[in-house]
Amino acid sequence: MTPLANAILRQIRAQGPITVAEYMTLCLLHPEHGYYTQRDPLGVDGDFTTAPEISQMFGEILGIGLAQAWLDQGEPTRFTLAELGPGRGTLMADLMRATARLPGFAAAAEMHLIEASPALRAAQADRLAQYAPRWHEHVEALPDQPLFLIANEFFDALPIRQFLRQGDAWAERMICEQDGKLAFGLSPPAPLAALAHRLEDTDEGQMVETCAPAIPIIESISARIARHGGLAWIIDYGDWRSRGDTLQALRAHRPADPLDTPGAADLTAHVDFEAIARAAHPLRATRLTPQGVVLERLGITARAQSLAHGLAGSALDSHIAAHRRLTHPQEMGQLFKMLGLTRDDAPTPPGFDA
Ligand code: SAH
């Protein structure tokens, strides 16, 4: 049993069952035993790999797209270049390198990073020192000026609550104690105004998820873009509407039981992009588009070919595999989706349909 499992069991004995959201928050961000608090979980030696860690092309191509949006919006001479949950800082480093020769872009960009993990802040500081980034706990601290923002695999780490439909009411999935171990249970069903619209598209016994912390984050970002212009790009696994139980744990690149090793496995849930698009009002949301499609439209294949010229043998093989992994529908290309948020009067962001 992990130290955090003991702490959570003690809490449940004293104060009763906790929601899935409370459980996720403790697992990921507990000040002493939280998953993200202490470690760098990314890469082959860690628990999972993300697109920026698979290939430099991911950050380069998104950087070129973002810089194009900056040009399309009249090259604001001062803007916030922000990332939510920047991991090791790899995406941002690749983005800055790919845009370095675009006149005015780097000079106009003020880098701001939203990061909760002290361990990952240290990795970002190493990687991005030359750009003098500033760190914040929350998006409310971002300056009031044009905002160009990227969030890759950030929203999937935010805590969700799960509800099971019973009649026209909802029973919340809780974490409780059973035979000295953590187990799932259900609260008594109650009607829920926030889920009224889900009575239309669900049946008895189906589960839906909500992610309350995502809403104020999107509202705060959207207010800045509505006032001053810019773009938010959200990339994650998920779909337009949440459906079913998507809570998942990953440990050493393998699926694990979410209740087995709290604090020692990554916990995520699919992102409900409809909820994000709604919270972004009055911004315009692009069509929700598969990652592979956007990367292709932004020119990843040409970039892959030019990088391939300098490679041979196993380096070439792994480069080709990385391109496939990022774009192919059977790999990350279809599972991961991209949503762009802009002002209604801004040009459609590069890579998306009008
Ligand atoms: N974007 C990176 C890392 C993804 S992992 C990549 O693609 O490689 C999730 C990131 O979000 C980590 O940096 C993690 O520490 C951060 N994070 C998770 N929950 C957070 C929260 N509530 N506030 C701020 N950062 C958070």
Q: What is the mean pLDDT of residues 298-303?
A: 97
d(CA 119, CA 134): 16
pLDDT value at position 39? 79
Amino acid at 138: H
Please tell me if the CB atom of residue 117 comes closer than 6 angstroms to any atom of ligand 1.
yes
Q: 86 is written with which tokens?
A: 């920047």
pLDDT band per the 50, 70, 90 thresholds, residue 328? very high
Q: Is the pLDDT of residue 164 over 90?
A: yes
Q: Which ligand 1 atom is the nearest neighbour of the CA of 36? A: 15
Q: Is the omega angle on the peptide bond into residue 282 within 30 degrees of 0, that is, cis?
A: yes
Please tell me if the CB atom of residue 157 comes closer than 6 angstroms to any atom of ligand 1.
yes
Q: Which ligand 1 atom is the nearest neighbour of the CA of 48? A: 5
Instruction: Tell me the pTM.
Output: 0.96
Average pLDDT score, the chain: 96
Q: 275 is written with which tokens?
A: 């909820």
d(CA 259, CA 351): 39
Candidates 3.30.540.10, 3.40.50.300, 3.40.50.12710, 2.40.10.120; CATH matching 51-159+211-342? 3.40.50.12710
pLDDT band per the 50, 70, 90 thresholds, residue 45? confident
d(CA 262, CA 11): 14
Determine the straight-line distance between the first and last CA of the chain, rounded to whole angstroms.
Answer: 52
Please tell me if the CB atom of residue 115 comes closer than 6 angstroms to any atom of ligand 1.
yes
Q: Could you give the 3-state DSSP secondary structure of residue 338? A: strand
